[in-house]
Amino acid sequence: MIASRFTAPSAALGRLLRRRPSFPRGLHLAEHKDTAGLPIQRLPFAPELIVPMLQHIGKPAIPSVRPGQTVVRGEPIGRADGFYSLPVHAPVTGVVRAIEPHLLADGRMVTAVVIHTLEAADQRVLWRTPRDVERLAGPALIQAIQDTGLAGMGGAAFPAHAKLAPPEDAVIDTLIVNGAECEPYLTCDHRVMLEWPAAVMAGIRLAMRACGARQAIIGVEDNKPDAIVALTAALPADGSVRVQDVATKYPQGAADILIYTLTGREVPAGQRSSAVGVLVSNVMTLATLGQLLPAGEGLIERVITVAGPGVARPGNYRVPLGTPMRYLLDFVGARGGVREVVLGGPMMGPAVASLDVPVTKGTSGVLVLTPRELAFETRPVRACIRCGECVCVCPRGLNPCMLGLLAARGEYETMVADYHLEQCFECGCCSYVCPANIPLVQQFRVAKGVWRKRSASRAA
C-alpha cells in the first residue's frame, strides 16, 4: 500500500463538474491509467509454472496428478474438496515435475503442482467438455460453475459458484456488475469491457439465472467512456441489463459503496449484500464465466495490468496462472530502479516479499514502483494535529483520528465496541490524506488482527 500524493490531473476536473451517481466522502486520485489504450496481449509460457492448489478463499483442492505425469492445457490437476473449494486446471501442456509446498504472495505456504512446460506447448486448450448452458439451472448450474474453478477476479478470490448461490432465506432482485475499477493504474477490467462485451453479457445472463436476479446494473466509472459505449451496444433487447456510469472517485469499486451508489441501499453492518437483495460480481469474473461455461473449460489464465514507473513495457497481459512473478517482470522489463512490487492497485494492494510467488486467480495487477513514488516512506511520522482530514474522507463515516489514537494506546476493545473498527475495509483514504503521515490503515490492520485473535481465544 502506498500513500504518496498523486497530483490530481486536469483531465479529471471536467468529470468532477458533471453529476454522476456517487457516494459521500472518498478521494479524487490521479488515475495513471496509461495502459487503458493498450489491447490485451498474451504472455508466453514460463519454462516452469507453479500452480497452487489454493488460489481462492476456502479449502484447497486435492492434487489429482502425480510427479512425472504428462498433463495437457486445461486438464484438471486438482479436485475440489467440498463446496467452498475449487478444482484447479493445468495452464500449460507439460510434465509434472513436483508436488510440493510453495510460497504465495500473502505469505502462506500451500501445496502446488509444478509443471515443466513442454517446448511444443501452444495456447490451444486441449481439455474441455462443452455444455448446453441453456439447459442448465438450479444446483446443476451452480455445480457447472464450480467445475470451471472460477474465483472472483477483482482481488477477493471468493469461489464464484458459492457467491452466486445466495442463502436460502435471501431474495436477490439485482445483480450489480462491478466495472468501476477505481484503483489508480489498473485497466484490465476496462480492456475486458471494451474487447469482450459479448462475453460480459453471456456471463451476466448465467449469473442472473444462478442467483435469481431480475435485473443487472453494470456500474462503470465515467473515465471509461469507450467501455460504456461497447457494453451499451451489446445489451440484450429485453431491458433486463443496463449500464450506469458513476463518478470517478475512490473507492467507488468497493462492493458496499457501489451498491449504495447504484441502488441507494445500505448493507447493514456485519451483514452480506444479500440482506438488501443485491449480489455484486466483478466484470472480469462474469466475462470469464461467459467464456468458460459454454466451452466447458477450466480457469487457466487471467488478464493482468502490469504497470507503474518501474515497468519498461507496461500493458494488459493474458497470463497463465502459475506464472512466476519473476518471469513476468523479466518479460515486461524494468526501469528506474525497482523498489517495490505491489499486487493489485496502489491504495489497497499488498507489496510482495518475494518474486518467486506465482500469479493466481485473484491477481488483478502488478504494480512496480521506484524509489521516487516511495519517498513518502522517509517522511517523519508526527503527532496528530486533529485537522479532521481523515474524518472528511472516510467513506464508511468512521473516525480514523480517534481510532488511530486508540490503536497507539492498544485499546483495541474500545476501537471495536465504540468506534466500529470492523466497519473499516482498509481503503487507505485516511492514511493518504493525513498530514502527520500517521500510518492509520496499517495500525487498523494490526488492531483487527490482535482483536480477532483475542476474541477467538476467549471463545475457545
Cβ proximity to ligand SF4: between 72 and 446 the closer is 446
Q: Roughly what angle, to the nearest 10 degrees, separates helices 138-147 and 197-211?
A: 130
Window 185-224: residues binding ligand SF4 (CB under 6 A): none
Contact 41, 20 (CB under 8 A): no
Window 377-406: residues binding ligand SF4 (CB under 6 A): 384-390, 394, 396, 398, 400-401, 404
Minimum distance between the CB of residue 280 and ligand SF4, rounded to whole angstroms?
A: 17
Minimum distance between the CB of residue 253 and ligand SF4, rounded to whole angstroms?
A: 13
Contact 318, 302 (CB under 8 A): yes
Cβ proximity to ligand SF4: between 286 and 421 the closer is 421
**Residue 442 backbone phi and psi in degrees, to 5:** -65, -40
Residue 41 CB contacts under 8 Å (≥ 6 apart), including other chains: 315, 316, 317, 318
Minimum distance between the CB of residue 370 and ligand SF4, rounded to whole angstroms?
A: 25
Minimum distance between the CB of residue 271 and ligand SF4, rounded to whole angstroms?
A: 17
Minimum distance between the CB of residue 57 and ligand SF4, rounded to whole angstroms?
A: 20
Minimum distance between the CB of residue 224 and ligand SF4, rounded to whole angstroms?
A: 24
Q: How many residues bind ligand SF4 (CB under 6 A)?
A: 28
**Exposed (0-12), middle (13-18) or buried (19+): which is 217, by Cβ within 10 Å?**
buried
Q: Count of CB atoms within 10 A of residue 354's CB?
A: 13
Contact 247, 273 (CB under 8 A): no
Task: Decide if residue 362 touches ligand SF4 (CB under 6 A).
Answer: no
Cβ proximity to ligand SF4: between 27 and 113 the closer is 27
Window 402-431: residues binding ligand SF4 (CB under 6 A): 404, 424-430
Task: Decide if residue 38 touches ligand SF4 (CB under 6 A).
Answer: no
The correct pick among 133, 441, 447, 448 for binding ligand SF4 (CB under 6 A) is: 441
Contact 154, 284 (CB under 8 A): yes
C-alpha cell at 122: 501452444
Instruction: In whole angstroms, give the CA distance from residue 369 to residue 424.
Output: 26
Minimum distance between the CB of residue 270 and ligand SF4, rounded to whole angstroms?
A: 15
**Exposed (0-12), middle (13-18) or buried (19+): which is 95, by Cβ within 10 Å?**
middle
CA neighbor of 207 nearest in space, from 236, 174, 180: 174
**Residue 144 backbone phi and psi in degrees, to 5:** -65, -40
Cβ proximity to ligand SF4: between 151 and 390 the closer is 390
Task: Decide if residue 257 touches ligand SF4 (CB under 6 A).
Answer: no
The CA distances from residue 256 to 202, 281, 425, in Å, are 24, 12, 10
The correct pick among 259, 407, 436, 447 for binding ligand SF4 (CB under 6 A) is: 436
Task: Decide if residue 438 touches ligand SF4 (CB under 6 A).
Answer: yes
Task: Decide if residue 435 touches ligand SF4 (CB under 6 A).
Answer: yes
Minimum distance between the CB of residue 443 and ligand SF4, rounded to whole angstroms?
A: 10
Q: Which stretches of the chain bind ligand SF4, using CB under 6 A? A: 384-390, 394, 396, 398, 400-401, 404, 424-430, 433-436, 438, 440-441, 444
